[in-house]
């Protein structure tokens, strides 16, 4: 850290002066007895009092100085804690002799964390404030706050220095309060439905559970490589084999892929598995889950998302292949013909891999022509078996699976299906995935232990994953996943790369 910065040096000198005067600049004996939000709640009647003050009430609050205005013998500061902002009136004659001029005015400044004791009063402008009779330094900030941080267009700094973003922007804190509530409510919802919360390994011997590139690490004690969890699916289904009938895990997953507005290498989701149920049951519980979230978050059912409005009370269903023509506008005669799809994609100047099978090409068409048009919550059902290696085949149409994905505002939020529990079929699917490695380097690896688990019998089961990050994006009208992650993955800065190079040389 560059302590040689002159502004930081000035603040360090002020911290030293505080120490010399007998005031610990990093005190650890706070006597705060209320938050700012509670202060406003219990003193809402002060404006109606005859003198618009009540010196018999005494409060001690604490927070960071966000505003400082000196006016000769008195000053106004505003301090902020997690719950809100409060104006403080600091007058020379209400403080110990010499403290106002020699300590407060000279050594306190914006960014410092302070404790203030006093009584409530209302200013001539009608603002409920605190009249201070004691001001104490709790933490001297040696780095000055940016003057106009909220207005910066450089979001890189906000993501890299999230602590500074949170200090300067209360709206960011609100987003993460909502995120925390979503996770808490998700846990309560599934527990209320009889699901058991479980924990599964984050380091796997085989990369599986979803089509994705894994992160690889080395387990020194075992002398083998391990893969950071792509998804917990195969372990959760092992638990269904073992006799649990309803399990869920709120999990962190890791996928060694590119980053964009909806993808971060490390992300959060919930996966749940429900014995003796089908994907149709999952559609119904998903609707209940959203209703529960909206009720408990006190959100209206119609929310803005960018230039569109999403009506969360209007859930619809349509099969994937049908959606290609009904929503995507593609000629119905081509959607089940591999050669016709390839010719069409060439006509549209789209990149096409002729080695793909029909199901994979249908998936490509969906991504290109349908996905972005799905604004209100839409369950896309009946996926081709070629792009659903873990889903159960439909009994009447075995080329399709009993699967759905939920899309909102043009983005996938959830993936679910009736689980494949035929071990022979599952083994064949894994083999097909292995054969597809030439054209899909994210295809599943063979997991013989999972097939072995299925061989002991897994009850008919339905399972689903819901992306928590993307869900929070929808609820908070954020358009980059990095805005709903406290510490998103960031490209190293040049000096960080140099530091790594020097460490490697050493």
Domains of the chain: 6-145 (2.40.50.140), 167-328+370-495 (3.30.930.10)
| pLDDT score recorded for residue 253 | 95
pLDDT in tens, 286-316: 999 999 999 999 999 999 999 999 999 999 9
Taking the C-alpha atoms of residue 402 and residue 277, their distance in angstroms, rounded to an integer, is 12
Distance CA 112, CA 11 (A): 10
- How many angstroms separate the CA atoms of 96 and 133, rounded? 9
d(CA 138, CA 117): 13
Burial status of residue 456 (CB atoms within 10 A of its CB: 0-12, 13-18, 19 or more): exposed
State how far the Cα of 323 lies from the Cα of 329, in Å rounded to an integer.
8
Rounded Cα distance between 10 and 364, Å, is 60
Lookup: tokens for 232 = 């917990």
Give the per-residue pLDDT at 1. Answer: 55
Alpha-carbon distance 412 to 488, whole Å? 20
Contact assessment for residue 268 and residue 469, using Cβ atoms and an 8 Å cutoff: yes
The whole-number average pLDDT for the span 138-145 is 95
Which DSSP string corresponds to 308-333? EEEETT--EEEEHHHHHHHTT---TT
What are the two backbone dihedrals, phi and then psi, of residue 419, each rounded to the nearest 5 degrees? -75, 140
**CB-neighbour burial class of residue 487 (10 A; exposed 0-12, middle 13-18, buried 19+):** exposed
Mean pLDDT of 432-448: 69
At 102, list the tokens: 């020699």
Q: What per-residue confidence (pLDDT) applies to 436?
A: 67
* Interval 31-57: pLDDT, tens: 999 999 999 999 999 999 999 999 999
Report whether pLDDT(355) > 60. Answer: yes
- Spatial distance between the Cα atoms of 78 and 86, rounded to a whole number of angstroms: 5
Please give the pLDDT value at position 150: 47
Mean pLDDT of 103-111: 96
Alpha-carbon distance 401 to 145, whole Å?
Answer: 55
Pairing status of strand 411-418 against strand 461-467: antiparallel
DSSP percent split of the chain into helix, strand, coil, nearest 5: 35, 25, 35
What average pLDDT does the segment 415-433 reach? 91
User: What is the C-alpha separation between 111 and 55, in angstroms, rounded?
Assistant: 29
The packing angle between helices 358-369 and 338-347, to 10°, is 40
pLDDT greater than 70 at residue 441? no
User: What is the arithmetic mean of pLDDT over 68-77?
Assistant: 93
Task: Please report where in the chains the tokens 């839409």 appear, as a residue.
Answer: 378
Are 500 and 298 within 8 A, CB to CB?
no
Region 459-483: mean pLDDT is 97
Cross-strand pairs, 55: none
Question: Could you read off the pLDDT of 204-259 as tens digits, one per residue?
Answer: 988 877 778 899 999 999 999 999 999 999 999 999 999 999 999 999 999 998 88
**pLDDT tens-digit map of 245-256:** 999 999 999 999
Q: What is the mean pLDDT of the chain?
A: 93
State how far the Cα of 270 lies from the Cα of 186, in Å rounded to an integer.
8
pLDDT computed for residue 190 by the predictor: 98
Whether the per-residue pLDDT at 444 is higher than 90: the answer is no
pLDDT band at 28 (very low <50, low <70, confident <90, very high): very high
Residues 6 or more apart from 289 whose CB is under 8 A from it? Answer: 186, 189, 466
Q: Detail the DSSP E strand segments found in 358-493.
A: 378-381, 403-408, 411-418, 461-467
3-state secondary structure of 2: coil
* pLDDT > 90 fraction of the chain, expressed in percent and rounded: 84
Cα distance from N-terminal residue to C-terminal residue, the chain: 21
Q: Tell me the whole-structure pTM to 2 decimals.
A: 0.90
CA distance 176 to 179: 5
Compare 157 and 311 and report the one with higher pLDDT: 311
String of DSSP letters for 60-101:
EEEEEEEEEEEETTEEEEEEEETTEEEEEEEEGGGSSTTHII
Tokens of 228: 């950071």
Asked whether residue 332 carries a pLDDT value surpassing 70, the answer given is yes
Instruction: Tell me what pLDDT residue 415 has.
Output: 96
């Amino acid at each position: 850290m560059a302590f040689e910065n002159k502004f930081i040096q000035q603040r360090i000198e002020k911290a030293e002066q505080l120490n010399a005067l007998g005031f610990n600049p990093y005190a650890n004996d706070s006597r705060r007895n209320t938050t700012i939000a509670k202060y406003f709640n219990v003193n809402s009647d002060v404006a109606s009092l005859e003198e618009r003050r009540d010196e018999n009430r005494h409060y001690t609050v604490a927070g960071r100085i966000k505003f400082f205005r000196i006016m000769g013998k008195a000053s106004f500061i505003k301090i902020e804690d997690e719950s809100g902002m409060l104006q403080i009136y600091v007058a020379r004659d209400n403080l110990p002799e010499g403290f106002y001029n020699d300590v407060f005015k000279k050594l306190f400044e914006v960014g410092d964390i302070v404790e203030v004791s006093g009584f409530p009063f209302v200013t001539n402008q009608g603002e409920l404030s605190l009249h201070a009779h004691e001001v104490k330094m709790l933490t001297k900030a040696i780095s000055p706050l940016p003057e106009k941080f909220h207005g910066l267009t450089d979001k890189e700094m906000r993501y890299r220095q999230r602590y500074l973003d949170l200090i300067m922007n209360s709206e960011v804190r609100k987003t993460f309060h909502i995120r925390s509530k979503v996770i808490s409510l998700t846990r309560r919802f599934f527990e209320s439905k009889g699901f058991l919360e479980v924990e599964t390994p984050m380091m796997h011997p085989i990369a599986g559970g979803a089509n994705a590139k894994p992160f690889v690490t080395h387990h020194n004690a075992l002398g083998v490589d391990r893969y950071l969890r792509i998804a917990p699916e195969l372990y959760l289904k092992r638990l269904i084999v073992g006799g649990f009938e309803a399990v869920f895990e709120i999990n962190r997953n890791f996928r060694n892929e590119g980053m964009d507005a909806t993808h971060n290498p490390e992300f959060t989701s919930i996966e749940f598995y429900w014995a003796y149920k089908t994907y149709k049951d999952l559609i119904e519980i998903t609707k209940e889950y959203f209703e529960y979230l909206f009720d408990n978050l006190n959100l209206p059912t119609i929310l803005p998302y960018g230039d569109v409005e999403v009506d969360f009370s209007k859930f619809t269903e349509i099969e994937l292949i049908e959606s290609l023509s009904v929503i995507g506008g593609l000629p119905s005669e081509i959607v089940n013909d591999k050669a016709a799809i390839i010719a069409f994609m060439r006509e549209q100047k789209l990149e096409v891999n002729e080695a793909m099978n029909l199901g994979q090409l249908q998936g490509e068409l969906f991504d290109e022509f349908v996905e972005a048009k799905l604004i209100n919550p839409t369950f896309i059902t009946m996926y081709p078996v070629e792009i659903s290696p873990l889903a159960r085949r439909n009994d009447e149409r075995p080329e399709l699976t009993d699967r759905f994905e939920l899309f909102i505002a043009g983005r996938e939020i959830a993936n679910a299906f009736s689980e494949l529990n035929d071990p022979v079929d599952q083994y064949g699917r894994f083999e097909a995935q292995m054969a597809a490695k030439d054209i899909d380097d994210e295809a599943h690896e063979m997991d013989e232990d999972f097939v072995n688990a299925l061989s002991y019998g897994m009850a008919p089961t339905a399972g689903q994953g819901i992306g928590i990050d993307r869900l929070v994006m929808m609820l908070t009208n954020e358009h980059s996943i990095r805005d709903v992650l406290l510490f998103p993955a960031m490209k190293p800065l040049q000096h960080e790369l140099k530091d790594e190079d020097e460490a490697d040389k050493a």
